[in-house]
């Protein structure tokens, strides 16, 4: 679905948040909401370069997106401090331009790719996803980005590649958290290649149609909506195809608490707290957490035969 805007008004003068929320209300009023927004990934024809289309990540009844203010002021990004308000307060001097990503490991097209080379060949898609943090809070976020599969295919992963690892920038001069040993820096994450290639997995460039702010992981960050938020590594500078499972920062930090898979699962508690319910930012009553964060129909088959309590 194309986001139509009046031809004379530059995008920057439209308030994206109003545009998105009003469009949803309109769709719902027309009785189209669920159907129009529940289209599976790839259900719509690709459109020309630079345009935006909306697919995948159905928005359910009673789950309005969080506000731009909420999404950009309540964050986890330990490079800028451990408090929820620290990333916004401490990231204004971080400079994500210019940006490039080193691609290496088991692929035929390794190299250092400039941001524009990575992003420009693709159509940006709008995907509103339910997001669940391992600490027990959640949001609904209108991401904008590129299916990770489309980006990775261009590097031609070799058959021996079974995993893909990601690394956040190491820049202690602009990231005060990296001047302290709270975590092993740089932050690293990883996915099994089939998880990385799943149509829901997104390399994100924006929120509400605006370029990512520093606190949300500018200029490129991952989003895997059926996994706990810590898998969604921010400010990525390296992508590596590997045969073996790559190390992941929270697993290194506390292996008995954070595994490699980190699939949202209300039945598998964190050793120090239950994962059965969550607090949606902006709401008072807790919600029940959904298996695979509500994306079980799309992703459960990735884990057939796996013991999800062991592979947490």
Ligand X SMILES: Nc1nc2c(c(=O)[nH]1)N[C@H]1C(S)=C(S)[C@@H](COP(=O)(O)O)O[C@H]1N2
Per CB under 5 A, residues contacting Mo ion are: 76, 133-134, 229-230
Q: Which does 238 bind (CB under 5 to 8 A by kind): ligand X, Mo ion, none?
A: none
Report the residue number, 54 or 86, with the smaller CB distance to ligand X.
Answer: 86
Q: Which of residues 70-99 bind ligand X (CB under 6 A)?
A: 75-79
Each residue 254-283 as x (binds ligand X by CB under 6 A) or -, in order, gives: ------------------------------
Q: Which does 233 bind (CB under 5 to 8 A by kind): ligand X, Mo ion, none?
A: ligand X
Q: Is 168 in the site for ligand X (CB under 6 A)?
A: yes
- In the set 37, 124, 133, 140, which binds ligand X (CB under 6 A)? 133
Q: Is 202 in the site for ligand X (CB under 6 A)?
A: no
Extract the tokens encoding 89.
């307060």
Map tokens 């009553």 to a residue: 285
| Strands (E) located in the chain | 52-54, 100-105, 111-114, 124-132, 137-147, 163-168, 188-192, 202-207, 210-211, 221-223, 236-242, 277-280, 287-288
Short-list 74, 59, 244, CA closest to 161: 244
CB 72 within 8 A of CB 218: no
Report the residue number, 56 or 177, with the smaller CB distance to ligand X.
Answer: 177
Report the residue number, 163 or 230, with the smaller CB distance to Mo ion.
Answer: 230
Q: How far is the CB of 131 from Mo ion (least distance, A)?
A: 9
Report the residue number, 186 or 199, with the smaller CB distance to Mo ion.
Answer: 186
Burial 240-274 (b: 16+ CB within 10 A, else e): bbbeeebebbbbeeeeeebbbbbbbbbebebeeee
Q: How far is the CB of 68 from Mo ion (least distance, A)?
A: 20
DSSP code at position 177: G
Short-list 179, 188, 182, CA closest to 222: 188
Contact residues: ligand X, CB under 6 A: 75-79, 133, 168, 187, 216-217, 229-230, 232-234
């Amino acid at each position: 679905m194309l986001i139509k805007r009046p031809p004379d008004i530059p995008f920057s003068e439209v308030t994206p948040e109003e545009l998105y929320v009003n469009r949803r209300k309109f769709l719902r009023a027309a009785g189209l909401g669920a159907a129009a927004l529940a289209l599976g990934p790839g259900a719509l024809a690709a459109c020309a370069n630079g345009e935006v289309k909306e697919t995948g990540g159905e928005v359910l009844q009673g789950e309005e997106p969080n506000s731009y203010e909420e999404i950009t002021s309540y964050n986890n990004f330990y490079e800028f401090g451990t408090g929820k308000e620290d990333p916004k307060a401490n990231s204004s001097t971080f400079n994500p331009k210019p940006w490039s990503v080193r691609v290496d490991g088991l692929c035929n097209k390794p190299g250092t790719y400039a941001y524009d080379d990575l992003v420009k060949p693709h159509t940006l898609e709008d995907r509103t996803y339910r997001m669940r943090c391992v600490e027990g809070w959640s949001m609904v976020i209108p991401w904008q980005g590129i299916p990770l599969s489309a980006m990775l295919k261009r590097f031609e992963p070799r058959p021996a590649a079974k995993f893909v690892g990601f690394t956040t920038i190491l820049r202690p001069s602009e990231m005060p958290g990296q001047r302290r040993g709270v975590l092993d820096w740089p932050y690293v994450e990883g996915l099994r290649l089939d998880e990385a290639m799943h149509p829901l997995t997104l390399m994100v460039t924006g929120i509400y149609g605006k370029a990512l702010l520093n606190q949300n992981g500018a200029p490129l960050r991952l989003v895997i909506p059926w996994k706990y938020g810590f898998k969604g590594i921010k400010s990525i500078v390296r992508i590596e195809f590997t045969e073996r499972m790559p190390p992941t920062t929270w697993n290194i930090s506390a292996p008995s608490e954070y595994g490699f898979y980190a699939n949202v699962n209300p039945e598998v508690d964190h050793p120090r707290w239950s994962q059965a319910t969550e607090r949606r930012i902006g709401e008072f009553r807790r919600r029940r957490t959904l298996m695979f964060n509500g994306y079980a129909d799309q992703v459960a088959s990735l884990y057939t035969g796996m013991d999800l309590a062991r592979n947490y």
